[in-house]
Amino acid sequence: MKLSVEFSINYSVEAAELIGAGKIRVDRLKCADWPDMIATAQTIAPVYVHFPFDLGSRSGREGDLDRADAMARQTNTPYVNFHIVSYDRDFPEFPTDADEPSMAETFLDWLIYDVEQAAKRLGKDRVILENIPFFAPAGEFHRHSVLADVITRAVRETGVGFLLDLSHARIAAQYLGTEPRAYIESLPVDQLRELHVTGIKPHKNRMADHMELGEEDWGFVEWAMERIRAGAWAKPWMVAFEYGGVGDPFKWRSRAEVIEEQTPRLYEAVKGI
């Protein structure tokens, strides 16, 4: 692993213009697995690819691993990421906030099998698992897919890496009724390979991420950087600021002034590791 942790931001027109104007610095632009986006972003800065794949669900987003493998190698993306997720439709007989141990064990069996298949194709050293948020009864994800024990067992029993989405973890902890720092520390942070940060705010009657960073959010970012510096967490290859983007989901949260103000502070925090 490189001694220096890399820093990236979601590709957006706003970020691209600020990079071109020399107002922000990044090591890479974080792109979806969209060839057109990647081709455009590569004219501005090096890129890496974040994939949309799910593991553990019997109705989730399956991936073409041959295509992902080729895309990762072409962009020098060291890992192929997968989301640990169980959708409400996977266990329709149970509410999403059901505390049902047998369902959690079934999901874990499915998850480990899926991870092993991905690792067999890509190599376990190139697979990382990402934690998702949880919204209790109002959400589409089952509680067992964010349980720290489930996530930790999946990582440890398969030998793959962990992608910590700090905002997802904070949201999950809130709806689980758990203190967020304690919840995060109970995840497999000793196998951390990549870290995602954003702000979180209420939106449409539940918490949402991909927001600008507020005071509380900065506190969590600084805490995470300190845990990495102290060696309590493994050093990730990448810290990604997941603010901004393209299309309707991002057009109201991709403000140039936010990117210009917050990116330099994040860059310095990451390089301080």
Confidence of residue 251 (pLDDT cuts 50, 70, 90): confident
Tell me the CA distances in angstroms from 129 to 7, 150, 156, 199, one per residue in order: 19, 12, 11, 21
How does pLDDT run across 19-75, given as a tens digit for each residue?
999 999 999 999 999 999 999 999 999 999 999 999 999 988 888 999 999 999 999
Instruction: Fill in the amino acid letter for 261.
Output: E
Assess if residue 191 is contained within a domain: yes
Question: What is the dihedral angle through the alpha carbons of 265, 244, 13, 63, rounded to the nearest 10 degrees?
Answer: 120
Establish how many alpha carbons lie within 13 A of residue 64's alpha carbon, considering only the half-sphere containing its beta carbon.
5
Please tell me the distance from the alpha carbon of residue 219 to that of residue 223, in angstroms, as a whole number: 6
How does pLDDT run across 119-135, given as a tens digit for each residue?
999 999 999 999 999 99
Assess if residue 15 is contained within a domain: yes
Determine the pLDDT at residue 207.
87
Assess if residue 1 is contained within a domain: no
Domain that holds residue 50: 6-271
How does pLDDT run across 219-236, given as a tens digit for each residue?
999 999 999 999 999 999
Assess if residue 164 is contained within a domain: yes
Confidence of residue 1 (pLDDT cuts 50, 70, 90): very low
Q: What are phi and psi of 195, to 5 degrees?
A: -130, 130
Please state the domain count of the chain.
Answer: 1
| Domain at 138, CATH number | 3.20.20.150
Please tell me the distance from the alpha carbon of residue 251 to that of residue 14, in angstroms, as a whole number: 10
pTM for this model (two decimals):
0.96
Evaluate whether 129 touches 160 at the Cβ level (below 8 Å): yes
